[in-house]
Structure 1
Amino acid sequence: MTSETEIRAKSKPATPVTPAAKTSSPQPQMHSHSPAGPTAFPAPQQIGFFLLPDFALMSYASAIEPLRAANLLAGRPVYNILNYSVSGGHIASSSGTAVPTTPLAQAPTNLHSLFVCAGGHPSQWQAPGMLPALRKLARWGVRMGGISSGAYVLAAAGLLGQRQFTIHWEHAPALIEAFPDLEPQRARFVMDGDRITCGGGVAPLDMMHAMIAENLGSDFATRVSDWFLHTQVGTSTGSQRASLAERYNLHHPGLLRVLEKMETTIEDPKSREEMARFARLSTRQLDRLFDQHLGKSFLETYRQVRLDHAHRLLTQSALTISEIAFATGFSNSSHFSRSYKATYGITPSMARGD
């Protein structure tokens, strides 16, 4: 499947500086601190944010604000925040707030890290010159990051092979379909050497806590988190979503096992009898549990799980409607279209704006 469109960049690339002088990994160098704050810091790190149109504003703010607070608490710049886009100019966020940017081609080789910040519709992220520019920075030793759906862009640039990474749970299905060799982790954030990714939302707060601790020590990172009342710092392995028990407001172990199995067998749906055996229940018990706890039948619930998955693929992937029907366990596109319209009131083609 075509995952990228590479066109020559509109802006002429800046003359590269010899990358040999760049250090690729941060080293904690804070020597001492007083109640007023640390008294010795390493040289400021250049942290870049590559913004795509309609980028997730909350995720972006959750990433840059800890860096700003670190500068404030340190009493001097310890992080320089730089904003980039493909061609420069103001880039509108998901809420319409515009951020001024510099063309990515002008990014210096002494960038420590570059985070790709993106929102919805990953299959449409095909800006001129974007992927070659990202690959060039990676070759120079820049630490490459993805925020919210930014990992999809890194995958399209071929920068996530043999790496552990994560992506916002809503965009995981589109990434897996587009790049079947890659498997995102179910984690809030993942730091794997010179790749660092998070699921978006408020997860960047946790990721930046870890990144600041890596550079300036855990005590200073805790002071930054306290500044934002971020007293419950999440771990890298923390979940991105509420548990099934919380989402469905139920606690029956057998029913939870079936619901979890539904979410992992979307492409190859299991029969009611197979699911009952899997949960060590009779089919009559299974039917009673669905009716009692969810107010829906087994088949209605399973169909909704598959249609929700199909909806995400329709809005976020370049798969054809027939391919989406197959990927969500429908026998053909006609059956899929009828089921989709009965649930959402519009056809799959209308959902895509065709």
Structure 2
Amino acid sequence: MSDLDHTFIDRHPLDGAAEAEYKIGFCLLPEFSSIAFISAIEPLRLANRVLGRKVYDWTCYSEDGEPVVSSAGLSFPVAGNLAEMPHQNILFVCGGLNIKTYTSTGVVASLRKAASRGTAIGAICTATYILAKAGMLSGYRSTIHWENTSGIREEFPNLDITTELFEIDRNRYTCAGGTASLDMMLSLVSVHTSHETALAIAEQLIHHRIRDGHERQRMELRARLGISHPKLLAAISCMEENLEEPLSCSDLASNVNLSTRQLERLFQKYLHRSPTRYYLGLRLDRARYLLTQTSLPIIEVALACGFVSASHFSKCHREHFGHTPSEERKLPH
């Protein structure tokens, strides 16, 4: 039996009668990210082991009290339904794919009830969307998986949504998912116990460095694209920062101190396409995220991605992806 399997069967190798200092609940939503969830609970288990006492107790819930299947197709048992959850110090909602589908009135009501009883509220991966929908992020910094950043900003323009790895703002805890939940929990352990304890846990997990919340979610462009030319990278970065109001090719070239012809040659040499075609691809990729992750009207998606009309957007989308924006929304994601 693997160590991870042991976590679910015998959660606490210490005295079961001992009272934990912190009780943490996890609400598992269908299609949640199993790696983000596991990365969140393993530091808690190891904190108990390293310190030799029960600092943390954790319990899993679902909306209906039934087992939940993750995005990887794994079924996870739960202790009960969210509406009947006893008081917890922190409640984390664990999201993943198709988060809008699982943003139910029942989950939202249970979150509000827990918060009213003094429970701190957190979100892992895409579950930040549910906290936003529940009106629980107003006045707080929060973050979400990078694929969903543009969508949640469009739908909730008044919220302070960052691109950080994780955000801990008073009694709200959010992270980007994946292994970001590991670093967020290590940060919590450091506050609750000591930095030395967090380091010992990281070493047990063969996690060579505890990442700060301010670190970026995505790889550097250089690593992502396998390109090292500084001016080409600067031009692409400029494109990514200006998707709603696209810059002309001449403006892009001027921003990186190149002529238009020099910029075109760089794109052809390293990316085998023109700057205009590459830029269009970035805008259409963002549009795809907005179509699948928000309920924004197609015209608003078009305008948010720099298209002057819905018809022009639809034409470009069909040529690039092989189907229209409205058809995109009907496809499984």
Task: Say whether the fold is shared (TM-score over 0.5).
Answer: yes
Larger displacement relative to structure 2 (147-156 or 318-327):
318-327
Q: Which residue of 2 aligns with 1:316?
A: 293
For 1:314 and 1:186, locate their aligned partners in 2 and report how far apart those are by CA, in whole Å. 20
The answer to which structure, 1 or 2, has the higher relative contact order (CA under 8 A, 6+ apart) is 1
Q: Which residue of 1 aligns with 2:266?
A: 289
Q: Which residue of 2 aligns with 1:169?
A: 146
For 1:253 and 1:169, locate their aligned partners in 2 and report how far apart those are by CA, in whole Å. 24
Taking only aligned residues, the RMSD between alpha carbons, in angstroms, comes to 1.9
Larger displacement relative to structure 2 (288-297 or 50-59):
288-297
For 1:161 and 1:202, locate their aligned partners in 2 and report how far apart those are by CA, in whole Å. 26
1:92 aligned onto 2:92? no
Larger displacement relative to structure 2 (308-317 or 275-284):
275-284
- Counterparts of 1:258-297 in structure 2, within 5 Å, are 258-297=235-274
Question: Identity, % of aligned pairs?
Answer: 39
Aligned partners of 1:121 and 1:316 also within 8 Å: yes
Larger displacement relative to structure 2 (118-127 or 305-314):
118-127
- Counterparts of 1:165-314 in structure 2, within 5 Å, are 165-314=142-291
Q: Which residue of 2 aligns with 1:125?
A: 102
For 1:297 and 1:42, locate their aligned partners in 2 and report how far apart those are by CA, in whole Å. 63
For 1:52 and 1:212, locate their aligned partners in 2 and report how far apart those are by CA, in whole Å. 25
For 2:294 and 2:93, locate their aligned partners in 1 and report how far apart those are by CA, in whole Å. 18
The aligned amino acid for 1:182 is: L
- Match of 1:62, SS state, is helix
- Any stretches of 5+ residues in structure 1 without a counterpart? 1-40
For 1:158 and 1:264, locate their aligned partners in 2 and report how far apart those are by CA, in whole Å. 28
Aligned partners of 2:149 and 2:163 also within 8 Å: no
- Match of 1:229, SS state, is coil
Larger displacement relative to structure 2 (162-171 or 324-333):
324-333
Report the Cα offset of residue 159 of structure 1: 1.0
For 1:128 and 1:78, locate their aligned partners in 2 and report how far apart those are by CA, in whole Å. 33
Report the Cα offset of residue 43 of structure 1: 4.2
1:103 aligned onto 2:102? no
With the length of structure 2 as denominator, give the TM-score of the two structures: 0.89
Aligned partners of 2:140 and 2:160 also within 8 Å: no
Larger proportion of helix: 2
Runs of 4+ with deviation above 4 angstroms: none
Report the Cα offset of residue 299 of structure 1: 0.6
Report the Cα offset of residue 42 of structure 1: 8.7
Larger displacement relative to structure 2 (194-203 or 128-137):
128-137
1:136 aligned onto 2:137? no
1:349 aligned onto 2:326? yes
For 1:205 and 1:126, locate their aligned partners in 2 and report how far apart those are by CA, in whole Å. 24
Gap change, CA 1:328 and 1:239, over 3 Å in 2:
same
The aligned amino acid for 2:178 is: G
Q: Which residue of 1 aligns with 2:32?
A: 55
With the length of structure 1 as denominator, give the TM-score of the two structures: 0.84
For 1:76 and 1:276, locate their aligned partners in 2 and report how far apart those are by CA, in whole Å. 60
CA displacement, residues 249-292 of structure 1 (integer Å, 9 cap, x when unaligned): 22333222221121121111111122122222211111112112
- Any stretches of 5+ residues in structure 2 without a counterpart? 1-17
Q: Which residue of 1 aligns with 2:307?
A: 330
Report the Cα offset of residue 337 of structure 1: 1.9
Aligned partners of 1:122 and 1:317 also within 8 Å: no
